[in-house]
Amino acid sequence: MKDEKGLYYHPFPQNKKVRVYVSGSEKDIYFRLWNSDDPDLWTDHRWVPYDAIKQAANMYKGKDFDPNSAYDIEIGKELIKEDNNS
């Protein structure tokens, strides 16, 4: 999907208030989280490269959010590929 902020998907399909935006190329993907309940999230957190997300996910100990399922590299690649082909 795409809006004024860019390409995005819903990492938790049951919760449409959360979106993960993707940017970059199929080989160099960046992610950015947006949540309609937390408008400051978009401005407080910038685009993050996938490698940094993977490193942080290995250290993450929380229970309320799973970075490995939220930031899906395969979905990101597919969105960018589809956008480039349109």
21-61 pLDDT, tens per residue? 999 998 999 999 999 999 999 999 999 999 999 998 888 77
pLDDT above 90 for 65: no
Other C-beta atoms closer than 10 Å to the C-beta of 82 total 11
Residue holding tokens 């399909």? Answer: 13
Parent domain of 35: 2-85
Distant-in-sequence, close-in-space partners of 12: CB < 8 Å, separation ≥ 6 = 18, 70
CA–CA distances in Å: residue 14 to residues 7, 19, 24, 50, 75: 19, 11, 27, 24, 17
Residue 19, pLDDT > 90, answer yes
Is the pLDDT at 68 greater than 90? The verdict is: no
pLDDT value of position 63 = 75
Number of domains within the chain: 1
